[in-house]
Structure 1
Amino acid sequence: MLLLSRTQPALFFILLCPVNIIGLWWAVGSPLVMDPNSICRKTKRLAGKQAELCQTEPEIIKEVAKGAKLGLRECQFQFRFRRWNCTSHNKYFGKIVQQDIRETAFVYAITSAGVTHSVTQACSMGELIQCGCEATRSRAPPFPTSGPGADGSKWEWGGCGDDVEFGYEKSKQFMDAKRKKGKSDIRTLIDLHNNEAGRLAVKNYMRTECKCHGLSGSCTLRTCWKKMPHFREVGDRLLERFNGAFKVMGGNDGKTLIPVGHNIKPPDKQDLIYSAESPDFCLPNRKTGSLGTKGRVCNSTAMDVSGCDLLCCGRGYREETVVFEENCLCRFHWCCVVQCKKCSVRKELSLCL
C-alpha cells in the first residue's frame, strides 16, 4: 500500500539552446526554479533580439517566463494519459527537445502559444507600459450575418479587447531569434514552423464578447470586444494538430520542407511538423529522454491511450491500494479562517509492470 500526496510542485527552468534557433526549451533543474533574471543572466548565449529584450524590456521577459510555465502545465494536462506525459521531474527532459519528433513539435508550439497568451493578457491587465487594450477606433463595425448585430440591434467596438498582435510579435521576437542571421537548416525550419503554429492557435481563434446597454437591460446598444480563446482550448487544438502532424524532410535548396509520402498535401501554417519517428517511450532510455512507463497509473477498462494494454506496452499491470491524504470536514470560522481536518482516502489503482 502506498501513501501519496496530491501536492507535488513541478520545479523547472528554461533551457536556452545555442544550436541553431535559441528557442525556449524546458528542462528540469530541481531544486532550481526558473525566473526572468535567470534567463537574462545568460545573455552571452542569447540571440540578438533576446538580449535586446532583456536589456530594454525586462518586464516582457517576466511574461515570457509565465508563458513557458503556462505551456508546461498545459502540456502535462494534454499528455497526462500518454506514454510520454510531459513530466518535468527528470533531468533528461532536455533530451526530448533535441529530437525532431512529434512531441518536440508540441513542446515548441505550446510554449510559443503560452508566451503569446501571457504577454497579451498582461497588456489587457495593464501590467505592461508598452501596450494596453486593443485599439478599435479605426475599425468600422461590420455588418454581421450572425452574432452581435445580426438582429439589427446597434453595436460598436469598445471595452478592453485583447491586443493579440502585440503578444504575437513579442513571442515571435523571442521564440524565433536565430544565432546567425540567414542561416537555415531543416531543424531551424521545423522549429520556426511549430512556433508559428502555436502562435496562430491563439491569434486565429479570437472570440467576440459583448455587453448590453439600455434601460432595464433592453440591449438597445451593445459594446463588443475581442478576447483570446481560453488556453485549454489552445491546448486541445494543438493536441489535434499533434495527432495529425506531418512528417517532412528538407528540400535540396535547404530552405524548404517537403512532406514525406506520396500524394500528401503540404502542411499549412497551423499544422505541426516533424522529421523523425518518436521512440515508443516504453522503457527508460537516457539517450531519448524516455522514463518508461513502469509504475504509471493506467485504466484497466479503457481502450484508448490511457488503457493498460497500450500504456504498459503489453507488459501487464498490477492492482494496488493507494491512500491519499486529503482535506476534509472543512469549516468556515468568522472571520475569515477555514479550518480542515486531514482524511485518508483509499483508492484501487492499476499500475504498469
Structure 2
Amino acid sequence: MGNLVDCSCDKAAKRYKKNGKKNKLKGMNLPQGEWHWGGCSDNINYGLRKSKDFMDTRYRRKSDMKTLVKLHNYNAGRLAIKNHMKTECRCHGLSGSCTQQTCWRKMPTFREVGNRLKEHFDGASKVIAGNDGRSFIPDGETLKPPGKEDIVYSEKTFDYCFPNMTIGSFGTQGRMCNETSKGEEGCEILCCGRGYNTTKVIEEVRCNCQFIYCCDVVCETCKYERNINTCL
C-alpha cells in the first residue's frame, strides 16, 4: 500500500525508544511485553499544522477579545484530539499466542471528540479582557483560569427560548417536542422549563398492504392514537 505524499503516516513515534524514557512517549499508555512500532499511525502533527494554517492565520495579527477567544477555542478543539490519541496494537505469533505486537497511534473517533467538546461547551467559562490587552481572565474572582482544553466565551448568546426578531428567532412556544428524550429535542430542554401541552390525535395510515397480481397494491386504512406535545 502506498503513502500519500502530502499526508503520510506519522513516523515520529518510531524514532523513540519503546522503554518510555523519552518525554515524547509519556502518557501514551504503552503495552506490556515484546512489541515494536508499526502500521500507519495517524499523522496528528501534520493535521495540527494544517488546521492552524487554515483556521488561525487570519487572526494572528489581531489581539481583540473576540479574536483571543476564537484562537483559544480553536486550540481547545485541536487538543481534544491530540491529548486523547490512543495506542492500538495487533498480535503476532503462532495460534494467536501474541508473542509479539505491532503498535501504532490512532486518533479518537469523531463521536468521542464531539462528546468531549460538548461537555466542555456545556461547562464553558465566561472571560474578560486582561490588563495587558493580550490575554483574558475569568469573569469572577473566585473562578480558576480556564485550561487549554476548556471552552470560553466573552459575550452571552441570545436567549432562543423567547421571540427575538432582531436575530430572527421565533422562540420555542408552540414547538413540538419529544416527551421521553433527554436531548435537545426533548420537552425539558426545548420548552425551556415552561412546560408543555399534550394533545391526543387520531391519525389514519395505510396498513396491511397486499400485492394483487397483477399489478395492484391494496391497503386497509388503520387508525392510531398518538400524543403530540407542544411547548407552552
TM-score by length of 1: 0.52
Asked whether the 8 Å contact 2:28–2:86 carries over to 1, the reply is no
- Quick one: distance in 2 between partners of 1:140 and 1:198? 29
- Residues 1:232 and 2:111 are matched in the alignment: yes
Partner SS state of residue 137, structure 1: helix
Q: 1:140 to 1:309 in 2, by over 3 A?
A: closer
- Quick one: distance in 2 between partners of 1:171 and 1:231? 16
Which of the numbers 159, 163, 171 marks the counterpart of 2:43?
A: 163
Asked whether the 8 Å contact 1:322–1:349 carries over to 2, the reply is no
Q: 1:247 to 1:146 in 2, by over 3 A?
A: closer
Partner SS state of residue 178, structure 1: helix
Q: CA deviation at 1:174?
A: 0.7
Which of the numbers 169, 175, 178 marks the counterpart of 1:290?
A: 169
Q: 1:321 to 1:272 in 2, by over 3 A?
A: farther
Q: 1:315 to 1:214 in 2, by over 3 A?
A: closer
Which of the numbers 117, 131, 143 marks the counterpart of 2:7?
A: 131
Q: Which moved more, 1:234-243 or 1:184-193?
A: 234-243
Correspondence for 2:58: 178
Asked whether the 8 Å contact 2:173–2:231 carries over to 1, the reply is yes
Unaligned runs of 5+ in 2: 21-25, 210-221
- Quick one: distance in 1 between partners of 2:223 and 2:99? 54
Matches within 5 A, 1:1-353: 128-135=4-11, 136-143=13-20, 149-150=31-32, 153-178=33-58, 182-288=61-167, 290-300=169-179, 307-313=186-192, 314=194, 316-319=196-199, 348-353=227-232
- Quick one: distance in 1 between partners of 2:223 and 2:87? 44
Q: CA deviation at 1:281?
A: 0.7
Correspondence for 2:217: none
Q: 1:145 to 1:312 in 2, by over 3 A?
A: closer
Unaligned runs of 5+ in 1: 1-123, 330-343
Q: 1:223 to 1:303 in 2, by over 3 A?
A: closer
Give me the CA root mean square deviation: 3.3
Of Structure 1 and Structure 2, the greater strand share is in 2
Give the % identical residues.
Answer: 47
Of Structure 1 and Structure 2, the greater helix share is in 1
Superposed CA offset, 1:102-150 (max 9, x none)? xxxxxxxxxxxxxxxxxxxxxx995x53121111331221359996542
Question: Which protein shows a greater Rg?
Answer: 2
Superposed CA offset, 1:128-181 (max 9, x none)? 53121111331221359996542xx200111011001111111111111226x5
Q: Which amino acid aligns with 2:18?
A: P
Correspondence for 2:214: none
Q: CA deviation at 1:279?
A: 2.4
- Quick one: distance in 2 between partners of 1:142 and 1:345? 69
TM-score by length of 2: 0.76
Q: CA deviation at 1:253?
A: 2.3
Q: CA deviation at 1:352?
A: 2.4
Asked whether the 8 Å contact 1:250–1:256 carries over to 2, the reply is yes
Asked whether the 8 Å contact 2:126–2:152 carries over to 1, the reply is yes
Runs of 4+ in 1 over 6 A off after TM superposition: 302-305
- Quick one: distance in 1 between partners of 2:174 and 2:44? 42
Correspondence for 2:218: none
Q: CA deviation at 1:350?
A: 1.9
